[in-house]
A = this chain, B = another copy of it.
Amino acid sequence: MQVVITAVGPDNRGLADPIVHSVTRLGANIAEIQMYDHDAERVFSMLTRVELGVERYEELCNAMAEVARRTKLSIRTWTPDIVGRRPRLAICVTYRPEPALALLRGIRDGAMKAEPRLMIGNREACHSLAEQFDIPWFNIGKDGGKPDDDRLIELCDEHEVDFIVLARYMRILPAASCWKYAGGRIINLHHGLLPSFPGMKPYHDAYAARMLTYGCTCHFIVPELDAGNQIIYQSTFLVPPGMPLEEIIHRGQTDNEPHCLVEGVRRVVEGDVRMHFNRVVVGKG
Residues of A within 8 A of B (CB): 12-14, 16-17, 20-21, 24, 29-37, 46, 193, 195-196, 209-213, 215, 228-236, 238, 240-242, 267, 272-273, 276-277, 279-282
Contacts and interface: CB of A to CB of B under 8 A. Distances in A.
Contacts of A29: 13-14, 17
A231 B238 CA distance: 12
Max chain B C-beta neighbours (<10 A), residue from A46, A210, A228, A233: A210
B32 A35 contact: yes
Nearest to A282: B242
Contacts of A30: 16-17, 20
A251 to B, nearest CB: 15
Copies of this protein, total: 4
A280 B241 contact: yes
Contacts of A46: 33
A215 B46 CA distance: 36
B212 A231 contact: yes
Nearest to A267: B241
A239 to B, nearest CB: 9
Given A21-B24, A35-B33, A276-B37, A213 B193 contact: yes
A215 B236 contact: yes
Contacts of A14: 29
Given A20-B20, A24-B24, A211 B231 contact: yes
